[in-house]
C-alpha cells in the first residue's frame, strides 16, 4: 500500500538508561533490518519507543518507556535484601531453635518471603484471562485518504490521530476469551485485541476483538453469555471450549447470536498468530471535532502480514505440543527484531446518513459492510518491545472502554453502555483498590491532579491542605479546564424519550448479515464452517439443542448450510428453508479470510529436514532466499547437535524430532543428498512431519534426492515423478529434481509460503 513506506520504523535513539539485562536481548538479536522488507536501517536496533527528538516521529508527552524506566528494578550485581532493605545472610534456611529444633517466629525473613508468596496471585480476568502483550507506538499517516474529508481534523479533534510526526506510546494485550489463565492458545475462540494509547490528552483504551460483531446486543446478557460459554458450573468442564451443552443451549435460544456464530465457526477463531489477525472496536463510536460536530466511526486494525488461520486439526495438536504457541510467537519475532504492525482504519458515517442502513448502527451484532462504507486507513501501530515482567505489565494492565480522550466519544449501543460500568468494576475486583490506575503500566503519561488522595495502596503523595472543591485555601486548584482548552466535554446528543426496559425494533433482524457472511465465503471456508459445526454440536449431548440450533438459527441463514450441518450431527435435515430466511444473496469479499492473505512470508517459520550427508548447496540456497524474504529457517534433525553435509560442512540442528513437530512450522523443505534422504526415508517421524504438513495444507519443497522422501510419504494426489525435469509445483508442493533450477525452485517455494495454505488439496485425502 502507499503507506508501506520504507521509513516505517523511524530511527529511535538508543536509550542510555536501559536496564542492562532486559535491553541487551534485543540489541543482541539479529538486526531488525534483516527481518523487515528492506527500507529500515540499523538504527531500528534499539527497538525503543523512548523519547525521540532527532528522528521523525516524536513520542507524545513523557515517553511511557521513560516513565516505566523509573520503576524498573534489576538484580544483576546487587545484594539480596528484605522488602524493607535489610541485607540478608541466608535465604535457604529458616531460623530454628537449635539445628533440629522448631522454626522461630521472629524470623522476619521467613515470614516476609512466605507472605509474599502466599499473596502472589490476583484474581484472573473473568473473561480474557489468558493473554500476552507488547509495547509499541501509534503513528498517524501523513495524508490519509479520507474520501470526502480533507483532513482528519474535520472528523476528530483527537490530536494524536492527526500529526504524522508524532508517535504515541501504546501497550497492546491479545487474549483468548473463554479459557483460564493456564489454558492453551490455539483453542476455537474469539481473540481480544486491546490497546492502551498513552496520549498527551490522557489514556484512550480501544478494547476490541478480532471479530467485528458480538454475541449479544445488551450488556445485561453478558453474565448469561459468559456463564453459558465458560466451563460448566457443576464440574468445571470443558476448559477453554464452546463445544458443550450450556453454550449451545444458550445460543440456540438467542437468534441474535447467529451472526457471531458464523465468525466463531470460521477460521477467524483459529488465528495463525496474533500478528496475523484483524482487530475491531466492534461498537459504533463517535468522533467529535473542534466545532463539536460528530460522525459515527467504526475502528479496524489491519495486520501488515495478512489475516491467516491455522487448521482445526493443527490447532488441537499445537495445544498439546506448544500451548503457548501464539503468545510465544509474538515475543519470538520481537526478540528477533521484527516489529509486528497493524494499520488503523476507520469507517465513517455521518449522523444524517445513519438511517440509510437496513440495520441499526447501535446494534453490535452488525457490521457496516465494506461494500457500503470503505475502511479508510489513518495510521499504523507498531509493536516493538516485549514487557520486562509479565505480572507487572501484562497481568496488571487494566483496560476500560470508558477511557476516552477529547475527540472520541461513545454511542448508545447498549452493549457499550454496559461495558462502561463493568470494566471499572472488574478492576476493583482484580486489584482490590480504586488505585489500579496508579500502577505503572496503567498510568497515563500526562500529569494528574484531582482530589482523589486515599484508598488502598495509594502511591502518589498529594500535597496541600485542600482536597475538595471549591476551596479558597488552595486557590481553588486544581482548576477545571474549559472545552476549548482541552477539557473533555461529552457530545451533547439530544435525548428525548421514556424510560423503558425493552429492545429496539431496529435490533430485531438477526439473519441477514449471517447470510451475508455465509455467502461471502469460498467453498473451502464453507466446508470448514460446516466441519466446525459438526465438532461443536457433535459435542452437545442434548439432541433438542442440536435441533434447535439447526432449525431455528442455521436454517434461517441458508438452507444448504443447515442441511450440511444437520447431516453431520444426526439431526434430520430441515425440509424447507427457515421462515425468517433473508431475501438476498449479497456478498462482501472482504469478509473472506482467503482474500486477506498478503503476499509476504515475513516471520513465517520454515523447517529444513536434514540428516548426515545433506546437500549443503541446497541448504544454503534455500536459507538465503527465505531469510532475504524475512522468513525464519530452523534446521530439524533426528537428534540435536552437529549434522554433517556431504561436502564435510556441518550445521547445528535447532530442533530434534523429540523437541518439535510439523504443526509448529509454516512450511518444510527437504534438501537433497543421498545419505541424508536415505536416513530420512527410514525415520517415521520425518515422514510423519511431511505427511502432516501436507494434511494441514502447508507448503512443502524438496530438492534433488529430497523428492524421494515425498515419494516415500505418498502424498495423496501428488505425482512425485523423480524422472521429470525442471521445477514442478503442484498444489503447494515444489519439487526440484537434480539438475533443476534451484533458484527458481526457491522462488516457487516463497510463493507457495506466501499463499499460506493450499486448500485445493483434496480434503478427503488427508495424508497422515
Question: Could you tell me the CA-to-CA distances from 125 to 5, 210, 224 in Å, in that order?
Answer: 38, 18, 16
| Residue 297 · residue 149 · CB < 8 Å | no
Hey, which residues between 643 and 682 contact ligand HDD (CB under 6 A)? none
**Helix H or strand E encompassing 264:** helix 258-265
d(Cα 145, Cα 148) in Å, to the nearest integer?
9
Which candidate, 694, 692, 690, 667, places its Cα nearest to that of 751?
Answer: 667
CB-nearer residue toward ligand HDD: 160 or 222: 222
Taking the least distance from each CB to ligand HDD, the nearer of 398 and 670 is 398
Please give the positions annotated as active site: 128, 209
Write out 304-332 in H/E/C secondary structure: CCECCECCHHHHHHHHHHCCCHHHHHHHH
Q: Which stretch binds ligand HDD (CB under 6 A): 88-96, 233-241, 325-333, 420-428?
A: 420-428
Smaller CB separation from ligand HDD, 11 or 381: 381
Stretch that binds ligand HDD, among 58-66, 352-360, 418-426, 628-636 (CB under 6 A): 418-426
**Contacting ligand HDD within 356-385 (CB under 6 A):** 364
175 lies in the site for ligand HDD, by CB under 6 A: yes
309 bridge partner residues: 271
Residue from 222, 296, 436, 669 in contact with ligand HDD (CB under 6 A): 222
Give the residue from 386, 265, 370, 379 showing the smallest Cα distance to 334. Answer: 386
Among 160, 197, 299, 399, which residue sits at the site for ligand HDD (rule: CB under 6 A)?
A: 399
- Which of residues 66 and 189 has its CB atom nearest to ligand HDD in the complex? 189
Q: Does 279 bind ligand HDD (CB under 6 A)?
A: no
Burial letters 719-736, b for 16+ CB under 10 A, else e: ebeeeeeebbbbbbbbbb
Contact 768, 688 (CB under 8 A): yes
Is the CB of 289 or the CB of 442 nearer to ligand HDD? 442
- Contact predicate 436/464, CB 8 Å: no
Contact status, residue 632 vs residue 654, Cβ threshold 8 Å: no
Q: How far is the CB of 98 from ligand HDD (least distance, A)?
A: 50
Query: In the set 13, 29, 402, 418, which binds ligand HDD (CB under 6 A)?
Result: 418
Select from 362, 415, 677, 710 the one that contacts ligand HDD (CB under 6 A): 415
* Cβ count near 412 (within 10 Å): 13
Q: Does 282 bind ligand HDD (CB under 6 A)?
A: yes
- Interface residue with ligand HDD, options 32, 57, 131, 737 (CB under 6 A): 131
Q: Binding to ligand HDD by residue 125, rule CB under 6 A? A: yes
Instruction: Residue 3: name the closest of 359, 386, 326, 377 by CA.
Output: 377
The CB-of-230 to ligand HDD minimum distance in angstroms stands at 12
Q: Which stretch binds ligand HDD (CB under 6 A): 149-157, 158-166, 206-214, 573-581?
A: 206-214
Of 231-239, 414-422, 714-722, 728-736, the window that binds ligand HDD (rule: CB under 6 A) is 414-422
Provide the minimum distance between the beta carbon of 343 and ligand HDD in the complex, in angstroms, as a whole number. Answer: 19
x-or-dash string of contact with ligand HDD, 425-464, rule CB under 6 A: -x--------------------------------------
- Smallest distance, Å, CB 204 to ligand HDD? 14
Measured CA to CA, the distance from residue 673 to residue 705 in angstroms comes to 6
- Which residues are within 8 A (CB) of 234 and not within 5 positions of it... i.e. 6 or more apart? none
Specify the 3-state DSSP secondary structure of 240: coil
Q: How far is the CB of 635 from ligand HDD (least distance, A)?
A: 36
C-beta of residue 540 within 8 angstroms of C-beta of residue 562 = no
- Return the sign of the alpha-carbon dihedral for residues 69, 72, 76, 80: positive
**Shortest Cβ contact with ligand HDD: which residue?**
192
Q: Which of 9, 59, 127, 740 binds ligand HDD (CB under 6 A)?
A: 127
Q: Which of 192, 387, 407, 704 binds ligand HDD (CB under 6 A)?
A: 192
329 versus 671: smaller Cβ distance to ligand HDD = 329
List 68, 219, 550, 670, residue binding ligand HDD (CB under 6 A): 219
471's CB contacts (< 8 A; 6+ apart) are: none
Closer residue to ligand HDD in complex, CB, 281/672? 281
Residue 128 is a binding residue for ligand HDD (CB under 6 A): yes
Q: Which listed residue (68, 134, 194, 368) binds ligand HDD by CB under 6 A? A: 194
In the complex, minimum distance from the CB of residue 190 to ligand HDD, in angstroms, rounded to a whole number: 8
Site membership for ligand HDD, residue 173 (CB under 6 A): yes
C-beta of 203 vs 316, nearer to ligand HDD? 203
Site size toward ligand HDD, by CB under 6 A: 26
Q: Are 296 and 284 in contact (CB under 8 A)?
A: yes
- Answer yes or no: are the C-beta atoms of 598 and 656 closer than 8 Å: no
Among 19, 153, 371, 422, binds ligand HDD (CB under 6 A): 422
Q: How far is the CB of 450 from ligand HDD (least distance, A)?
A: 23
- Rounded to the nearest 5 degrees, what angle is found at the Cα of 591, between the Cα atoms of 586 and 594? 120
Contact segment (CB under 6 A) with ligand HDD among 127-135, 433-441, 484-492, 507-515 equals 127-135
Nearer to ligand HDD, 137 or 423 (CB): 423
Q: How far is the CB of 89 from ligand HDD (least distance, A)?
A: 41
Q: Which of 197, 214, 342, 694 is close enough to bind ligand HDD by CB under 6 A?
A: 214
Residues 6 or more apart in contact with residue 691 via CB below 8 angstroms: 713, 715, 767, 768
In 3D space, the residue among 665, 663, 615 whose CA is nearest the CA of residue 643 turns out to be: 615
Please give the backbone phi and psi of residue 174, each rounded to the nearest 5 degrees, phi first.
Answer: -105, 150
Single out the residue of 705, 675, 674, 712 nearest to residue 691, CA to CA.
Answer: 712
**CA distances for 152 relative to 159, 334, 407, 444, 712, angstroms:** 9, 31, 11, 24, 60
SS3 percent helix, strand, coil of the chain, rounded to 5, is 35, 15, 50
Binding site for ligand HDD (CB under 6 A): 125-128, 131, 173, 175, 192, 194, 207-209, 214, 219, 222, 282-283, 364, 398-399, 415, 418-419, 422-423, 426
Amino acid at each position: 500500500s502507499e503507506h508501506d513506506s520504507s521509513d516505517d520504523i523511524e530511527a529511535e535513539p538508543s536509550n542510555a538508561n536501559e536496564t542492562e539485562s532486559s535491553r541487551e536481548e534485543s540489541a543482541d538479536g539479529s538486526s531488525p533490518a534483516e527481518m523487515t522488507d528492506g527500507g529500515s536501517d540499523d538504527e531500528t536496533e534499539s527497538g525503543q519507543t523512548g523519547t525521540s527528538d532527532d528522528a521523525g516521529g516524536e513520542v507524545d508527552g513523557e515517553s511511557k518507556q521513560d516513565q516505566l524506566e523509573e520503576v524498573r528494578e534489576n538484580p544483576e550485581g546487587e545484594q539480596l535484601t528484605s522488602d524493607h532493605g535489610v541485607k540478608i545472610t541466608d535465604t535457604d534456611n529458616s531460623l530454628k531453635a537449635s539445628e533440629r529444633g522448631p522454626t522461630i517466629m521472629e524470623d522476619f525473613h521467613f515470614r516476609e518471603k512466605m507472605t509474599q508468596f502466599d499473596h502472589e496471585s490476583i484474581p484472573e480476568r473473568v473473561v480474557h484471562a489468558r493473554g500476552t502483550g507488547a509495547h509499541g507506538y501509534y503513528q498517524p499517516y501523513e495524508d490519509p485518504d479520507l474520501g470526502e474529508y480533507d483532513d482528519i481534523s474535520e472528523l476528530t479533534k483527537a490530536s494524536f490521530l492527526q500529526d504524522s510526526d508524532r508517535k504515541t506510546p501504546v501497550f497492546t494485550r491479545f487474549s483468548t476469551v473463554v479459557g483460564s489463565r493456564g489454558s492453551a492458545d490455539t483453542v476455537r475462540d474469539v481473540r481480544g485485541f486491546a490497546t492502551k494509547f498513552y496520549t498527551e490528552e490522557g489514556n484512550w483504551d480501544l478494547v476490541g476483538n478480532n471479530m467485528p460483531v458480538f454475541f449479544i446486543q445488551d450488556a445485561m446478557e453478558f453474565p448469561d453469555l459468559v456463564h453459558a460459554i465458560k466451563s460448566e458450573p457443576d464440574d468445571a468442564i470443558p476448559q477453554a471450549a464452546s463445544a458443550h451443552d450450556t453454550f449451545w443451549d444458550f445460543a440456540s435460544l438467542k437468534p441474535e447470536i447467529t451472526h457471531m456464530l458464523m465468525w466463531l465457526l470460521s477460521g477467524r477463531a483459529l488465528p495463525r498468530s496474533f500478528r496475523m489477525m484483524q482487530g475491531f472496536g466492534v461498537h459504533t463510536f463517535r468522533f467529535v471535532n473542534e466545532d463539536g460536530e460528530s460522525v459515527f466511526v467504526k475502528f479496524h486494525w489491519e495486520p501488515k502480514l495478512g489475516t491467516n488461520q491455522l487448521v482445526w486439526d493443527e490447532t488441537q495438536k499445537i495445544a498439546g505440543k506448544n500451548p503457548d504457541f501464539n503468545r510465544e510467537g509474538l515475543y519470538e519475532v520481537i526478540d528477533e527484531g521484527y516489529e509486528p504492525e497493524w494499520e488503523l482504519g476507520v469507517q465513517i458515517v455521518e449522523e444524517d446518513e445513519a438511517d440509510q442502513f437496513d440495520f441499526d448502527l447501535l446494534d453490535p451484532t452488525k457490521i457496516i459492510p465494506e461494500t457500503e462504507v470503505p475502511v479508510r486507513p489513518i495510521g499504523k501501530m507498531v509493536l516493538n518491545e516485549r514487557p520486562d515482567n509479565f505480572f507487572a505489565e501484562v497481568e496488571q494492565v487494566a483496560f476500560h472502554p470508558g477511557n476516552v480522550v477529547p475527540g472520541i466519544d461513545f454511542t448508545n449501543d447498549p452493549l457499550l453502555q454496559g461495558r462502561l460500568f463493568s470494566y471499572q468494576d472488574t478492576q476493583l475486583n482484580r486489584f482490590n483498590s480504586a488505585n489500579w490506575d496508579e500502577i505503572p503500566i496503567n498510568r497515563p503519561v500526562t500529569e494528574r491532579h484531582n482530589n482523589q488522595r486515599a484508598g488502598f495502596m495509594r502511591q502518589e503523595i498529594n500535597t496541600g491542605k485542600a482536597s475538595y472543591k471549591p476551596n479558597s485555601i488552595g486557590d481553588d486548584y486544581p482548576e477545571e479546564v474549559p472545552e476549548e482548552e482541552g477539557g473533555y466535554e461529552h457530545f451533547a446528543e439530544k435525548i428525548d424519550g421514556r424510560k423503558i426496559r425493552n429492545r429496539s425494533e431496529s435490533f430485531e433482524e438477526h439473519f441477514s448479515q449471517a447470510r451475508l457472511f455465509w455467502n461471502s465465503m469460498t467453498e473451502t471456508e464453507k466446508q470448514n464452517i460446516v466441519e466446525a459445526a459438526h465438532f461443536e454440536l457433535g459435542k452437545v449431548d442434548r439432541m433438542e439443542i442440536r435441533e434447535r440450533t439447526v432449525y431455528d438459527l442455521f436454517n434461517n441463514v441458508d438452507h444448504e448450510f443447515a442441511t450440511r450441518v444437520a447431516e453431520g450431527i444426526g439431526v434430520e435435515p430441515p425440509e424447507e428453508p427457515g421462515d425468517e430466511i433473508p431475501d438476498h444473496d449479497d456478498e462482501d469479499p472482504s469478509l473472506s479470510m482467503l482474500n486477506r492473505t498478503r503476499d509476504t512470508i515475513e516471520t513465517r517459520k520454515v523447517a529444513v529436514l536434514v540428516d548426515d550427508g545433506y546437500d549443503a548447496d541446497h541448504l544454503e540456497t534455500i536459507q538465503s532466499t527465505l531469510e532475504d524474504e524475512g522468513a525464519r529457517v530452523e534446521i530439524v534433525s533426528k537428534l540435536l547437535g552437529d549434522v554433517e553435509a556431504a561436502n564435510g560442512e556441518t550445521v547445528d540442528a535447532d530442533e530434534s524430532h523429540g523437541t518439535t513437530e510439523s504443526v509448529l512450522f509454516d512450511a518444510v523443505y527437504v534438501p537433497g543428498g543421498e545419505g541424508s534422504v536415505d536416513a530420512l526415508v527410514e525415520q517415521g517421524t520425518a515422514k510423519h512431519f511431511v505427511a502432516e504438513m501436507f494434511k494441514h495444507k502447508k507448503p512443502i519443497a524438496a530438492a534433488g534426492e529430497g523428492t524421494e522422501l515425498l515419494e516415500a510419504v505418498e502424498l495423496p494426489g501428488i505425482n512425485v515423478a523423480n524422472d521429470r525435469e525442471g521445477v514442478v509445483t503442484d498444489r503447494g508442493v515444489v519439487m526440484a529434481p537434480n539438475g533443476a533450477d534451484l533458484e527458481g525452485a526457491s522462488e516457487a517455494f516463497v510463493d507457495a509460503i506466501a499463499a499460506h495454505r493450499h486448500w485445493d488439496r483434496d480434503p478427503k485425502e488427508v495424508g497422515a
